[in-house]
Structure 1
Amino acid sequence: MRVYCSYSDSELAFLLTQGDELAFTEIYNRFYGLLFIHANKRLNDDEEAKDVLHQLFESLWVKRLQVAPDGNLSAYLYTAVRNRVLDVFAHQKVESKYIDSLQDYIDQDHVSTDYMVREKQMALLIEQEIDALPPKMREIFILSRKENKSHKEIALELGLSELTVKTQVKNALRILKSRLGVVIYVVFLLKTYR
């Protein structure tokens, strides 16, 4: 009966390539503790380090034919752990970027939704103030600003002088400016002249 704990690393590596499960078990027992410390030192996470080693030993058994039987088994395993730790960091970085971009999207969507709500509120406020104008003034103002008719066209349509139309529009704008405040008034003007 073979005593695997007395075998050198290269002898165990050779037996591993032959599919010897006991050699694999000896390699696992011999290196697990040191490799765990090595992985955990970099990852700072016991569970993550255990996952890395679980994947490493699983891969070692599956790819046992690729292990160089006369190579340095210890160096092979440490390199494999280092590569897997780097994979974990790369995955975390991608995950973090994804979460950041998702958060940016949510934030922008929130800002855009907030803006749309405010814009609707502002439009409603403007409409209410236009509706509160005296009836004739309101009619002239709507024809001028919403239907984009000239003072001359409005005068002809309503049977008024151009000067009356001009004065009514001017008075409507003055009233709206005082009721809405300068900022909302300017926004209103920008929207009507787009």
Structure 2
Amino acid sequence: MIFFYLLRSDKNKAFEKLFEEFWQPLYRKAYSKVQSEDLAKDLVQDVFVAFWDNLDTLTQDANIPAYLHGILRNKILKIFEKDAVRLKHALQICPADALLDFCSHERFLEKELKLIIEGEVNRMPSRMKEIYVLKKDDNFSIKQIAEELGLSEQTIKNQLQNAYHRLRLKLREYNPDLAVIFLLLTKILFFFKSI
């Protein structure tokens, strides 16, 4: 790889070239998982800081793209783990009556969310709807859906991404709070099922 050739002559230039080549793909991957421009940028910056810190330990046979994406994956996992811990802590310290108010409001939002999602799912193109239902209702894996429908796994992923995008747009135009709830739920579930 040209990176290692440059690394021998100019460490900074090698790193700069690597940064230019991989910043955008890493940013797109991070954004697809966290749906926040600022957080995605911070994650990518952290990836390159970690890479720089470990630069001297890399060997010539290292797969740089896989290494960078591995760092990013671990950083995203840590964010999701922290969010899960925060939510658990918030639920534990919340007073019982506040929790009841929160729960009743959440139940109302959940019913509203379900109706909106069902309506939008019914308006999806037939293949997209079929894939979404197999994933969401029947809990099929992407691989199982691909085998069942005779399609590639990438096609299934694309269809699911499009379905989630449609749902987010619909929820955002109806009620931004519902879009945020839906986004958090689908991103966490989709991320953990894809790893």
TM-score for the superposition, normalised by structure 1: 0.46
Which structure has more relative contact order (CA 8 Å, sep 6+)? It is 1
Answer with 1 or 2: which has the greater Rg: 1
